[in-house]
A and B are shown apart, each in its own frame.
Chain A
Amino acid sequence: MSSLLKIENLHVSVGETEILKGVDLELRQGEVHALMGPNGSGKSTLAYALVGHPKYEITEGSITIDDKDIIELDPAQRARLGMFLAFQYPVTIPGVKVADFLRHAISNVRNPDRKEGEELMPMRDFRKELRSTMQELNIDAEFARRYLNDGFSGGEKKRMEILQLAMLKPKFAILDETDSGLDSDAVRVVSEGLKKLSGPHMGVLIITHHERLLEYNIPQYTHVMLAGRIVETGDAELAQELHNNGYAGIRERHPEAAAEEEAAKETTTV
């Protein structure tokens, strides 16, 4: 049985401001969905709410995995249930080696009952797996010994996210603009990487502005977000259309949301 991530009527606020205003979305293991929408429409907010960022408060609605409500779970517990986010802006953690961090992460995610201080995954097995995964993704083995994202280029950071995805093998992977800010070679590497990794065991939600990632990973569904709501859902062709023509058509078809978008812009620029 494939697992189901179900988002119903999700409202999310940061501080006093409501950003998501009722989002519904179902992502099944094995499916690929694209999430598009203009800057500031709330795509990253949805991603953060899904992994449990403490700043993003859920005021209404639910998130379930196979009917289990996960809203009360912290990010670590959600990760153990198979949630993963490739961050739009991965943070730097000085002094923490990629390999040490990943070994820890894997030990927890693969053994959800593991308690603090208990055995980590055996070093040999871990090293072997890390090395071969890095090779597969064309990442220099030397990165394992570097400090997490410390001094990494934009492309290197994004590849590091893909490496973590490959090692952690989540049930649900959200990629937040993993293809942004990269040169075309790097975009290709990331797109091919994801294609290799996805399959029947992974549900993927791709947040993107570009077509390359979607060419390699053709979505069954495309969702368009505007002013904190999913205003349209279509297939791969919708993604293609948005890519060619931008969001003018969407705004025309959804004047109320477009007006809300305008209003939000004004309050933030004042």
Chain B
Amino acid sequence: MSPFDPEGRRAVAAALESAVPGSVELGALDYVECLLTAFDHEPPRIWAAPGEWAGPAGDPGPDAPAWLDLGPWERQAWQQRIADWASVYGRVVAGTADEADLRVVHAHACEATYGDPAYGGNRDGAGWARIGFPEPLHPPAGARRR
């Protein structure tokens, strides 16, 4: 479920796109939505786990968790942080974002474009491809996390 209505989505997408051109096509809006709704899931979607990637510790099997759990104090900190960011995007949607808000949008656009695709951005690693950054080794491209 998106935290934004269609108009809000358009406003957030425009802010992300103006911070990092091309970021929305690579999934930046999905990234922000995934972040703001992280606590709709259990465990919350804050830290992606290696998942089914069979590293040197061996095949973890199909039940390998896709996300790492948070401790209770980490949950408190992340709930606070996400609530703060929800307010930032509220101001973006309302057209009242200040410089500090736009710094948050810029940081999220960068993370979404060039971070691990597990978080909803950098679709199929295309962000890395467009700057010639080689696919990370762990997990390898074929076993990329979802």
B and A form one assembly = no
Residue ranges of B at the interface with A (Cβ–Cβ < 8 Å): none
